A = this chain, B = another copy of it.
C-alpha cells in the first residue's frame, strides 16, 4: 500500500519514521495525530510523508499492519510448534507481556481498531488481525485433544475464543490506562502494576486456562519441557 518510494529511503530513516508514527498514533489516537508533528518527530519533511504514503489513512494502516507483524513475530517467532498447548500459551502470554512493555504503542493501536469512528480500519484489518491467532489456537487445541492433553469434549472454537479473550484483556491491562486501572480495581492492587504483579497475573491466567482445558478426571498435565 505505501508508495515505492518508501523502499528507497535509508532503512534507519524508515525505521525512525514508522516507529515515531506508531508512538504518536498510540499516544494521540488517529484523528488527533498531526502529520506535521509526526514529520517533525520523525525528522523528515511533511511533504515527504506524502512521497511515501498516499494519505494519513494509508500511513496508519501500514503502521498498524507493521505493528501486527512485529507483535506476531515477537509472540510467535520463537514458539516451537511442537510444544503442547500449555507451553505455547505460557510462551504467548509471556512474550505478549514483554512486547507490551517494549512496544505498548503497537498494542494500543491494535486496541484502537475497535474504537468508534475506526470502522473503516476495522473493515480492512480485523480479519487479518484475528485469523492467524484463531487458526493457530484451534489447530494446536485440536492436535492436543488428539494427544490426550486436552479434554476431548472441548468445544475448540469456543475455547480458542475465550482463551484469546483473556489474552486481549491481559495485554490491554498492560498498555491502556483504563484497563490498567480496571485491573488494579478488581485485583485490589495499590499503586503501579509491578513487573512481579504482571508475572503473577500471567501465571494465574495460564493456570486458569490449563485447568479449563485439562482432561477432567486427572490433574492438569505436567508442564512440557521446552528447549
Contact = CB atoms under 8 A, between A and B. Distances in A.
Interface of A: 25-32, 108-109, 111-119, 122-123, 126-127, 129-131, 134, 155, 157-158, 160-162, 164-166, 168-169, 172, 176-179, 181-183, 185-188, 204-205, 208, 212
B166 A162 contact: yes
A208 B205 CA distance: 15
Q: How many copies, total?
A: 4
Given A112-B116, A162-B166, A176-B114, A127 B185 contact: yes
Contact of A31 (B31, B160, B162, B205): B31
Contacts of A169: 165, 168-169
Nearest to A166: B165
A185 B130 CA distance: 7
A95 B137 CA distance: 31
User: What does DSSP make chain A's interface, helix, strand, loop or mixed?
Assistant: helix
B26 A113 contact: no
Considering residues A158, A160, A188, A205, which has the most beta carbons from chain B within 10 angstroms of its beta carbon?
A158
A181 B112 contact: no
* Interface-centre pick from A28, A109, A165, A186 (highest chain B CB count, 10 A): A186
A28 B162 contact: no
Given A29-B115, A109-B116, A116-B109, A127 B158 contact: no
